Amino acid sequence: MSPVRVGVIGVGHLGYHHARNYAAIDDAELVGVVDTDPERGRKAAEDFGVPLLPSVCALVEEGIDAASVVVPTSAHCAVGLELIEAGIDVLIEKPLAGSVEEARQLVSAAADAHRVLQVGHIERFNGAVVALFDVVKQPRFIECHRLSPYPNRGQDVSVVLDLMIHDLEIVLALVASPVATVDAVGVPVFSESEDIANARVRFDSGCVANLTASRISVDRMRKIRIFEQDAYLSTDYSAQKVLVYRKKPGPLTEEMTPMDLIAVEPLAVHRDEPLKLELASFVECVRDRARPLVSGEDALAALRLAQQIIDAAREPV
């Protein structure tokens, strides 16, 4: 079977690693890269032995089957639509688009053209998250923290779209219930939009999710904690570790403390580079015409909730 011919549009910090991984995937052939920064584009082209092409159109003319779109969020819709209308399958980095309306346009265009549309919610390919989905049954309370120092990229959108949206997509998939209410607060510090935000989301199932995202923290943290009827699961995205706390069977006797009845068990986690797994999965979906793990529809739902949170945070007090 011939390899899937792929290109990368945008080879900055993250796009460079898209190109690196495609060049190493057996079922893929990296055909070329596109970037508005000539120096950055030349480096990726030289490092991976492919041409630097002047436009998306020129990349399409090279005969690609699929492409990664790793450009600023504000350009996701225009670049994605150009590729889809040219008959190309696309992986668009998160968030899917800069607005819910633009995201709808991309989802609709991909459906009409029968194109694969995958969105780069990379945490779904984190080994700890994969293990988590295997054991979570009926979450009642979820707590997410995603904190980082101020970045040199991503400031064109709210921290809700930059960071929190990773956890929103995961929470929606875990809970699988309609959103009932949203309360939120957000504060701009260095940029024009929220640099730190907190949201409390209640679902029709009764589950409540409390999410905090910050890009003005001194330390980094990427954790999710899930409470169920008989278990508490603590997940560290960075370390790719999951600990499960369960109540042991039997009564609490006088000589025991409640903690004596708690068993702590680490889950088995397959550790690998999430981006490599994500791109390999995309290539497989292109080849097999399969639905991606995070489809355009899934990403649209996460973006819709993210916009609800932004709107709630910006309501006048």
Give the dihedral of Cα atoms 217, 162, 305, 201; nearest 10 deg.
Answer: -10
Taking only the tens place, the pLDDT of each residue in 35-64 is 999 999 999 999 999 999 999 999 999 999
- In one letter, which amino acid is 118? Q
Considering the chain, what percentage of its residues have pLDDT values greater than 90? Answer: 88
How far is residue 272's CA from residue 52's CA, in Å, rounded to a whole number? Answer: 29
Quick one: pLDDT at residue 262? 85
Residue 261: per-residue pLDDT: 80
- Res 7: pLDDT: 98
Q: b or e along 268-296 (b: 16 or more beta carbons within 10 Å of the residue's beta carbon)? A: ebeeeebbbbbbbbbbebbbeeeebbbbb
pLDDT of res. 85: 98
Average pLDDT value over all residues in the chain: 94
C-alpha pair distances (Å), 108 with each of 10, 105, 293, 307: 24, 5, 18, 19
| Distance (Å, whole) CA 180 – CA 186 | 20
Whether pLDDT at 250 is above 90: no
Please give, one letter per residue, the 3-state secondary structure of 209-263.
Answer: EEEEEECCCCCCEEEEEEECCCEEEEEECCCCEEEEEEECCCCCCCCCCHHHHEE
14-29 pLDDT, tens digit per residue, is 999 999 999 999 999 9
- Percent with pLDDT over 70 in the chain: 98
The answer to whether 70 and 13 are in contact (CB under 8 A) is no
Do the Cβ atoms of 144 and 210 come closer than 8 Å?
A: yes
Query: Pairing mode, if any, of strands 66-69 and 89-93?
Result: parallel
Per-residue confidence at 155, pLDDT binned at 50, 70, 90?
low
Instruction: Choose the weakest-confidence range: 142-156, 220-234, 280-294.
Output: 142-156
Domains of the chain: 4-123+274-293 (3.40.50.720), 126-272+304-313 (3.30.360.10)
Report the candidate in 33, 36, 27 with the shortest Cα–Cα distance to residue 2: 27
Alpha helices by DSSP H, listed for the chain, are: 13-24, 38-48, 56-61, 76-85, 100-113, 127-135, 159, 165-175, 274-288, 296-313
User: 3-class DSSP state for residue 34?
Assistant: strand
Query: Looking at residue 296, what is its pLDDT?
Result: 98
User: What's the token pair of residue 27?
Assistant: 């079922």
Supply 205's token pair. Answer: 């199932």
Mean pLDDT, rounded, for 116-127? 97
CB-count burial class (<10 Å; 0-12, 13-18, 19+) for 91: buried
Average the pLDDT over 246-257 and give the result: 81
Confidence of residue 154 (pLDDT cuts 50, 70, 90): low
Q: What strands lie across the sheet with 141-147, from one edge to the other? A: 179-187, 196-203, 208-214, 141-147, 221-227, 231-236, 241-247, 262-266
pLDDT tens column, 67-108: 999 999 999 999 999 999 999 999 999 999 999 999 999 999
152, pLDDT greater than 60:
yes
Q: Is the pLDDT of residue 202 over 90?
A: yes
Q: Which element (helix H / strand E) includes 90?
A: strand 89-93
